[in-house]
Chain A
Amino acid sequence: MTAGPVPGAPRGAARLVLADGRVFEGEAIGAPGRATGEVVFTTSMTGYQESLTDPSYGGQVLVMTYPLQGNYGVNAVDSESGRIQVRGFVVRELTDLPSHWRSHGTLDGYLRAHGVPGIAGIDTRALTRHLRTRGVLMGTVTSDESAEQALARLRLTPDYAAGDYVATVSTREPYAFTGERDHAGGGPHIVVVDLGVKRNIMRILAGRGCRVTAVPYSASASEIRRLEPDGVVLSPGPGDPMLLDGVVEATRRLVGSCPMLGICLGHQVLGRVFGARTYKLPFGHRGANHPVLDLPSGRVWITSQNHGFAVDAAGLAAEMRVEQKHLNDGTVEGLVHEELPIFTIQYHSEASPGPHDTEFFFDRFLASVSGGGALAAVGERAGGA
């Protein structure tokens, strides 16, 4: 890991410039250079390493609303993918002196090692209020140009919505997930379409005895069928689902061939498969405290969320039923097919970061997979990955 600056030493100046001209002055953290992307905030109070490495944040500059970051350092096991996925990182305070038995180094050093710039010391609450009121917008973290120069540059940068981020975060080749340890295996074969998958999805499946294969987002239906999956999981990922016609088409062709689970972007893809369109939320749902109402049971689950788009239930085919809704704004949180074993959730049952309350959803999916029922029961008893 790259050696960071001396702890406690003063940092250089940096500024965050937003597309609407608002400027926040702070100090530079992480790698030198500029970071440009859609500026979004998460209200999750823990799990910065998981968030930084979550591919769904591709193309975005991430603001942490909790002011103290880096407290427990970074480690070898909390990453959700092979690298930091965010473009830039914005915090109120970044500690140089982490404390945790598992920590390998500082968050600052981690950003540096992955070439990701950031900014600290700014009024992140003022920024969050701005984003909430104004809606998310493009912004840039910079330390070597004036605010005017940065703004001019920002105006020439294509908008986030135009970017095909899935292509940049998805695996290029299919691979078998072996996880951090040997699993019993021998269970059903689950193919995960990697739109920007988080490791914990595969860990959970493997932990329940599944054989897990990840395939690129560009995999065709026939390529997937050739793998003889017992079930298919469409993973979360970044960007606008309306750009993913290819994935939607491939998925459409798979419908009916095996049980399917769509998570987050995967849920939106399945929504499109069944006729719905998707739309952009003003500032998205990002955090670990999102209440989702399960309509059949009347129960509310606290979920981990990270999405800027949502499924519009209006165009949805009759056979797809909205089973879960966001308690705060009523957006669609889960769909279930009236006849086929197809389930979708807008939130992250795999958590990481966030509450583990809905991990059972994987068991529900696996129960519909041939030979998966017994495994699901095992998973439920084990209570986690």
Chain B
Amino acid sequence: MLIIGSGPIVIGQAAEFDYAGTQACLAMREEGVTSVLVNSNPATIMTEEGIADIVYIEPLTVEALARVIERERPDGLLPTLGGQTGLNLAVDLAEAGVLERYGVRLLGTPLESIRLAEDRESFRGLLREIGEPTPDSVIVESWGEAERALLEIGLPAVIRPAYTLGGTGGGVAHTPQEYERIVRSGLAASPIGQVLVERSLLGWKEIEYEVMRDGADTCITVCNMENLDPMGVHTGDSIVVAPSQTLSDQEYQMLRSSSLRIIRALGIEGGCNVQLALAPRPDVVAWEGAAGARDRREAPPYHVIEVNPRVSRSSALASKVTGYPIARVAAKIAIGRRLDEIENSVTGRTTAAFEPALDYCVVKIPRWPFDKFPAGDRSLGTQMKATGEVMAADRTFESALQKALRSLEISGRSLLWEHPSWKRSLGQGGDEPPLEATDDRLWALLAHLRRDVGPDELSRRTGIDPWFTERLARIVAMERRLLAEELTPALLLAAKRMGFPDTVIAELADRLPEQVRGLREEWGILPVYKMVDTCAAEFDARTPYFYSCYEQENEAPPLERERMLVIGSGPIRIGQGIEFDYCSVQAARALRQAGFAAILANSNPETVSTDFDTSDRLYFEPLDGESVRDLLANEAGEAGEAPPSIVQFGGQTAVNMAPVLKRAALPVAGSSPEAIDIAEDRRRFEALVSELSIPQPPGVAVERLEEALPTAEAIGYPVLVRPSYVLGGRAMEVVQNAAELSRYFAAAREEGSGPILIDRYIEGMEVEVDAICDGERVLIPGIMEHVERAGVHSGDSMAVYPPQHVSREQQDAVVDYTTRMALALGVRGLMNVQYVIAPEAEPDGPGVFVIEVNPRSSRTVPFISKVTGVPMVDLAVGVMLGRTLAEQGYGGGLWPPPPLVAVKAPVFSMSKLGGVDTFLGPEMKSTGEVMGVDLSFEAAVRKALIASGLDLHPGTPVLLSLADRTKAEAVPLIRALHEAGCPLYATPGTADLVGALGIPVSRVSKLTDDGRRVREPVEGQPTVADVIADARVRAVVNTLEGKSTTHIRDGFYIRRQATEQRIPCFTSLDTAGAAIRALARPGSYEIRPLPEYRDGVAVAAAGGAE
């Protein structure tokens, strides 16, 4: 059975498909079916050994898939588990005749149904046929058609591009100008150049149902979900509650029946997601007998909005909401099982043919990337912008909402957060808290309620059902009680039952959080843990899946076996992605293999780590000090001891728990909190490195700008600036001059960062290692070389393994420094180190400088584990359990590289995020990654480029707009492009350069005079905007000089335009160079299962383990 993964994590397609694919592979294994998995994303659990039987990490293209099919000859293809990517690819394979040629059956959803559900015209036809209402809409394929459609539909109108992810390129248009802009962007976004213009149902309730159907035509709904944000905001960007809260049984069943009719009509065998809009009352539209409707049985009108004929983000959420494993069941149905033949593994005594009953309320809140992109367009509409999400369950809506809010892990954003401008009065430059849909709206609603704006008025202005605004008002009422009343046991219990965290209670009741905790302990106000059992306690269940609440009965007595807690990584966000879920899941598996009980804590519903059978006990909880300590106290029981916590695998979220645990005298497994602190406190770290005589860029920590300016002057610009403590806060930046340094300081001060470190910026090659240390030996599975020079965030760099341009001497230095630092720090487990190599900066040495150490697993752990075959997480867990590397069959030093080359390339979601500049810099911007692996460097790079959408073809027209300082360096690239037959376009300065090389170039005018004023159009000369918009150029190379705002403006426009046209845009000459070299040397690439590339190594590893 062939399973197609969803590729890199992008906005709209995240970890949920790793979860779905992993479940599907495991389900195949249970059924005795061999699974062949193809995915380009190495950071996934599904691509790990022991999940699928045969794993290909190859680009998700028709060509690559066809070669896999030719080689593996699968009987069937399961297209519905790899998101839209997998589904589209399956359709492409069918249309290319590949499936027919090799006799591969498409399972689950018939091809015809995929087309029906995805093609809006035929889908509407089907809905009409079965009598399901759908909003008036017109399909258009050109701007001319769109103009006519507008007359029919009117404004506001929703524009939905066909076949795109997460609503990419769509939106709601309120004005004719908006209409034209969105339609054009939508036409460009749609791979078939088609958009749907639809009547807007703004303000209607948005409800989703997750539906399953088997081959015997048994249909069930797994759950329904209600969006707190009414229609108009993408469901992925909506706060969602499950089950629905404001629907009567009549409405609930009406929409449920509609969903079942749709899955039947589509003939899906598996899972499907139906999105519906329900009028908040019958009289929102012309309605027969509306006046008397209140006392009659008519229900309000509804419309079917969208159907996903596959497993989706919502189905991952629904699985975690209910405990019903949708992907697992869908996979089993696809190979012919009936729902009543599939065991409900949660109860162990019932089957998958039932509908889960919830006895708790679940709230999901999206995690948006605007803490990274404050300048981005924060408005929410039909185009999804969130990178991840959090979920919390509790016995009331208020407490579930508050726990979800804590789970977001946005520093400084508690329940009580208000934007500084809201606190100022309107006359003094203040703003009214904005009620339009943005990532701030929840806080804005609370702010209004605090200012005595009534919930009814807020509902009227936002369309949010009054039930929700009333609940928010109850939260604010409790805030007032906490402010005004004496903190009694009754009041504290009432606040805890409403989900107030100790920190907020402390702030309101004028205590320290630790004092509130003390009172809770004294008064016996402690959470209990309830089970998510799919059946509302009707049956005795065996699941280990728990949430906290303030109730009487605890259902989670301490586990009696030896156990450890793995702290997960929370919501997917830029800089902390699925890699850390991979590590958490591997850690749980390693613990279980070692005979320990694995306890997992996480707040992310999309992930494998929160699957009910990943651990022996799952706490679905916020990952903050309060919740982690509470659940550890629960595990400690009456007089027992809390299990040790593993903080190395859950990214910065988990590492941040180390000092909290230390203060609470709770045990930490592996590296001690002290060792972690030395690595994270850059001043302490610098002292240690100096002591070890390991070179590092000269730098100084300063507190004030007055110190900073002379310091930077002395070091010499450009300098690298960053806060002295990592804590996931402000990123580092390369600063070119005093003005930029002042700006950085001002921003950092506003955020309350501590001292700032100013280092000399060494422009050199960046290399990175992950290492495992047992206290005696240090194993370095691999050195990765970055394609982009230092200054580009390591997460946004292309990384090559093994290194291609690092000398033996330099590699030896990397190994030596890493080993000595790990031993000196006392690392037990994983560590990641980043170096810059600049021989000219250290003429009498190897020229290797250490820039950063992370005392935890890094985002490259899955990549390196997979390409080297060294099970890094298992080894690190082994070390924490007290086994040395030698006892685990491994020695120290650098692991011998296998005969392969692997390239990891970042993938961005910039087309989803309006207003965000796309250039590569020290702040990470990518959301996901792909891997190209092959026998040669060229082939590996080519695959990585193909998989990340950056590959160039001979003859691709390219626009060049280069900063002066990069022009000399660009000359060979320009020549190479010309030789590959690429027509060149260039802005005036660059065009002069190209012309001087004797290469023909089309001159394109800039939009502004260095950002100062808009230029007059030059007669007969197109602008950069024209050539990108009309597709004359299909790739852009644009480098920028410093960060001075004047230069940025034109470049910004070029980059955004390129992003919106979805064409490759290179802002680093290093990346462009890699792509152009790959273009210049065309060649073939291999398609093989991953272990075959490693072959030699696999044997060596087995030998070493003897």
Contact = CB atoms under 8 A, between A and B. Distances in A.
A68 B535 contact: no
A249 B244 CA distance: 46
Given A97-B467, A181-B296, A299-B217, A66 B536 contact: yes
A77 interface: yes
B297 A290 contact: no
A291 interface: yes
B354 A328 contact: yes
Contact of B245 (A68, A129, A300, A351): A68
21 contacts: A44-B357, A45-B252, A65-B538, A66-B358, A66-B536, A67-B359, A77-B297, A92-B396, A98-B467, A99-B466, A102-B294, A125-B359, A126-B551, A180-B296, A289-B355, A291-B354, A300-B220, A300-B339, A327-B354, A328-B349, A384-B257
A213 interface: no
A77 B296 contact: yes
B465 A290 contact: no
A45 B248 contact: no
Chain A CB within 10 Å — which of B220, B249, B339 has the most?
B249
> Is chain B's binding surface mostly helix, strand, loop or mixed?
loop
Given A43-B538, A45-B358, A125-B537, 9 more contacts: A46-B252, A67-B360, A99-B246, A125-B530, A128-B359, A132-B540, A287-B538, A289-B355, A291-B351
A357 interface: yes
Interface in A283-336: 283, 287-291, 293, 297-302, 327-328
B359 A124 contact: yes
B1084 interface: no
Interface in B215-268: 216-220, 243-250, 252-253, 256-257, 260
A46 B254 CA distance: 12
Contacts of B474: 8
Contact of B359 (A66, A353, A356): A66
B802 to A, nearest CB: 55
B395 interface: yes
Nearest to A301: B218
Chain B contact patch, size range? 35 or more
Nearest to A76: B295
Nearest to B256: A355
B357 A45 contact: yes
A71 interface: yes
Nearest to B468: A99
Contacts of A352: 249
A172 interface: no
Contacts of A327: 340, 350-351, 353-354
Nearest to B249: A47
A123 interface: yes
A81 interface: no
Q: Across the A-B interface, give the 6 residue pairs with the lowest CB-CB distance, nearest first.
A: A47-B249, A101-B281, A126-B553, A99-B467, A43-B357, A289-B355
B612 interface: no
A351 B477 contact: no
B928 interface: no
Interface in A121-160: 122-126, 128-129, 132-133
B555 to A, nearest CB: 8
B670 interface: no
Nearest to B361: A68
Contacts of A71: 245-246, 467
Contacts of B355: 288-289, 302, 355
A354 interface: yes
Interface string B724-743: 00000000000000000000
B113 to A, nearest CB: 20
A240 interface: no
A354 B351 contact: no
Contacts of A8: 474, 477
B249 A132 contact: no
Contacts of B555: 129
A72 B246 contact: yes
A132 B294 contact: no
A299 B213 CA distance: 11
Interface residues of A, number: 66
Contacts of B351: 291, 327-328
Contacts of A230: none
B595 to A, nearest CB: 31
B338 interface: yes
A290 B357 CA distance: 10
Interface string A340-376: 0000000000011111110000000000000000000
B470 interface: yes
Given A128-B536, A129-B537, A354-B253, A72 B247 contact: yes
A5 B360 CA distance: 26
B356 interface: yes
B256 A128 contact: no
A299 B247 contact: no
A132 B537 contact: yes
Given A289-B354, A299-B218, A97 B249 contact: no
B329 to A, nearest CB: 13
A101 B282 contact: yes
A50 interface: yes
A100 B249 contact: no
B807 interface: no
A78 interface: yes
A97 B354 contact: no
A77 B257 CA distance: 20
B395 A298 contact: no
Contacts of B360: 67
Interface in B949-993: none
A239 B531 CA distance: 32
Contacts of B282: 101
A99 B356 CA distance: 25
A298 B220 contact: no
A299 B395 CA distance: 34
B243 A357 contact: no
B538 A128 contact: yes
Contacts of A356: 253, 256-257
A76 B294 contact: yes
A257 B350 CA distance: 40
A77 B282 CA distance: 15
Interface in B550-583: 551-553, 555
A77 B295 contact: yes
A357 B260 contact: yes
B300 interface: yes
Given A123-B552, A126-B551, A68 B357 contact: no
A298 B253 CA distance: 24
A227 B492 CA distance: 65
A278 interface: no
B551 A125 contact: yes
A302 B354 contact: yes
Given A99-B466, A327-B353, A45 B243 contact: yes
A108 interface: no
B723 interface: no
Interface in B37-73: none
A8 B359 CA distance: 23
Contacts of B530: 125
B280 interface: yes
Contacts of B523: none
B102 interface: no
Contact of B249 (A50, A95, A125, A301): A50
B535 A43 contact: yes
Given A43-B535, A129-B537, A352-B249, A291 B340 contact: yes
Nearest to B357: A43
Contacts of B294: 75-76, 101-102, 104
B397 interface: yes
A39 to B, nearest CB: 14
Contact of B253 (A132, A291, A351): A351
B455 to A, nearest CB: 8
A281 to B, nearest CB: 12
B551 A297 contact: no
